[in-house]
Structure 1
Amino acid sequence: MITREKNLVSIIITSFNREKYIKDCLESILAQTYRDIEIILVDDCSTDNTLQIFNEFKREAVEKRPEMKDRIISISLPRNVGYAGPLTLGMFLSKGEFIAIQDSDDISHSERIEKQVSYLIANPQYELVGTLFSSFFDYKNGKLIGLRRPVRWIKFNEEIYKVYKRGGHCICHGTTLFRGSVFDRLGGFTRRLGKEADFEFLQKCIKNGVKANNLPEVLYYYRRHPEQMSKKDDTGGPKI
């Protein structure tokens, strides 16, 4: 039986050539009001300065918060394997009672993790919780540029099960936080799939009885830029 560290949140970030955006992403995680976290970066063989930026971030972060020395971890893959494999590896490396997902080009609200953990603690019947999110174009001097209204395709409560039952999608994977026991029980992502692996993972959770919900607050910000994997629309979800 796997023993997970109580109250710890393992935040999984995967990256490939994200030197333009990775620092903003990491700083938004370090700024979380919930302090009991570990950051696990799995880099998919980047050819730019992503890892150098990460290492500099770690050095500065540990100077400010020495307790993070062994809680900021990076793994660099020897070859590019795509989207699903690095996410699953990050989950295998996680030690936390909870696992959170964070895309390397996006930004989390400072209270995101605290509010999601609080929800799962207050509602022990739930195992996974996402949030509302908005998209933005740029981030400068701590301000989100081109911030749009929250997306409309996120659903709540019992409506979530109806949507997934008919093959739809209504939880943004990048916003999710779930109990580590979900991964221990169901495993991770299907490697043969690309970005759609996140939909399959969430669908697998729902089909296997994982009780899920979304918080009705914008706690995550999705960056719009030309290198995005998902081009279904500019918010990473189904067309509205």
Structure 2
Amino acid sequence: MNLDNNFSVLIGVYHKDNPEYFRQAMDSILNQTVKSNDIVLSIDGPIYSELLEIVREYLSKYPEIHPIWLSENIGQGRAFQKALPQCQNEIVFRMDSDDISVPTRFEKQLIYLIEHPDVKLLSSTISEFIDTPKNVVTVKKVPETNEEIIHLAQRWNPINHPSAVFYKSAVLSVGSYQDFYRYEDYYLWVRMLDVGYKAANIQESLLFYRLSSANLKRRMNWQTTKSAIKFHQWKYKIGFAGWKDTYYMIIVMLGIFITPDFIFEQIYKRVRK
């Protein structure tokens, strides 16, 4: 099967990102078996020192990287809302600035989309690691079929955003990325599923996701908890989730918030295994 490079990659970076992790992420994009002709780099506010130097290094070496410089940090949802229309191609791969895509990720996901033209949103299993990809501590699996994805979406996020690929026109038709603290991607997926776009997940790990105690704690602070409650209430309001699922998730989110960090980390790792 002949695969062309007419697809885009959307990756965001901001001043708190680790320069070396960013380099690893970029290299994993550039060293794919099928390479993109359009890598859109969303730079969310001013960046400095080593991170800025690395960004400039890649811009000078790779003309396929197209930067979007935002004058202030506005958050991932709003930043991607501005960046997505600048992607030159209909198929857009997502990538985070501290993760590592396996070399065949783009190839395998492109083949899947070609063989399943009705699927407009696709992700995969991801391997969560600490320090090095050789130290995988959890594997985050998501359901394969559209029906299973819709069922899971009533309670949990059914798409692994770091390994997502989608059709630009489908995302724009539902209002694109929007600001919803810590729930920008889940909010987008539900809007797509709610209007009938079909999704799927490849049952193979195609990305290494960097896990740390810091990002686990971010999932359980009060600001995140309030946003989660608001989000699940919204799903009920639009008729996507029933009242049982809604109240169950509100109780779960409050339970996560009051659980001590070290206990939550152990539960998270056990559930993922």
Give TM-score scaled by structure 1 length.
Answer: 0.82
Instruction: State the one-letter code of the partner of 2:161.
Output: H
Counterpart of 1:82 in structure 2 is 75
Q: CA deviation at 1:135?
A: 0.8
Q: Deviations over 1:104-151 (max 9, x none)?
A: 111111111111111111111111110000111224xxxx24223422
Q: CA deviation at 1:99?
A: 0.7
Contact 1:127 1:211 in 2 (8 A): yes
Instruction: State the one-letter code of the partner of 2:25.
Output: C
Which ranges of structure 1 fall in alignment gaps of 5 or more residues? Answer: 1-5, 63-68
Counterpart of 1:231 in structure 2 is 219
Contact 1:7 1:98 in 2 (8 A): no
Structure scoring higher RCO (CA < 8 A, sep ≥ 6) equals 1
Counterpart of 2:94 in structure 1 is 101
SS class of match (2:136)? coil
Counterpart of 2:172 in structure 1 is 184
Aligned residues: 218
Counterpart of 1:66 in structure 2 is none
- Give 1 or 2: higher strand fraction: 1
Q: Deviations over 1:150-191 (max 9, x none)?
A: 224x11212111112x23222111111011221232231222
Counterpart of 1:15 in structure 2 is 13
| Worse overlay, 154-163 or 181-190 | 181-190
Contact 2:42 2:67 in 1 (8 A): yes
In the alignment, the residues of structure 2 paired with residue 90 and residue 221 of structure 1 have an alpha-carbon distance, to the nearest angstrom, of 24
Aligned ranges 1:100-179 → 2 under 5 Å: 100-139=93-132, 144-152=133-141, 154-157=142-145, 158-164=147-153, 166-179=154-167
SS class of match (1:96)? coil
Counterpart of 1:221 in structure 2 is 208
Counterpart of 2:59 in structure 1 is 58
In the alignment, the residues of structure 2 paired with residue 55 and residue 227 of structure 1 have an alpha-carbon distance, to the nearest angstrom, of 28
Give the CA RMSD over aligned residues: 2.4
Which ranges of structure 2 fall in alignment gaps of 5 or more residues? Answer: 221-263
| Worse overlay, 82-91 or 25-34 | 82-91
Contact 2:171 2:192 in 1 (8 A): no
Q: CA deviation at 1:97?
A: 2.0
- Give 1 or 2: higher helix fraction: 2
In the alignment, the residues of structure 2 paired with residue 145 and residue 225 of structure 1 have an alpha-carbon distance, to the nearest angstrom, of 15
In the alignment, the residues of structure 1 paired with residue 193 and residue 58 of structure 2 have an alpha-carbon distance, to the nearest angstrom, of 36
Instruction: State the one-letter code of the partner of 2:104.
Output: E
The 1:74–1:227 alpha-carbon spacing in structure 2 relative to 1, beyond 3 Å, is farther
The 1:125–1:203 alpha-carbon spacing in structure 2 relative to 1, beyond 3 Å, is same
The 1:7–1:104 alpha-carbon spacing in structure 2 relative to 1, beyond 3 Å, is same
Q: CA deviation at 1:46?
A: 4.0
Percent of counterpart pairs with the same letter?
26
Counterpart of 2:252 in structure 1 is none
Q: CA deviation at 1:54?
A: 1.5
In the alignment, the residues of structure 2 paired with residue 125 and residue 195 of structure 1 have an alpha-carbon distance, to the nearest angstrom, of 29
Q: CA deviation at 1:7?
A: 5.6
In the alignment, the residues of structure 1 paired with residue 204 and residue 101 of structure 2 have an alpha-carbon distance, to the nearest angstrom, of 12
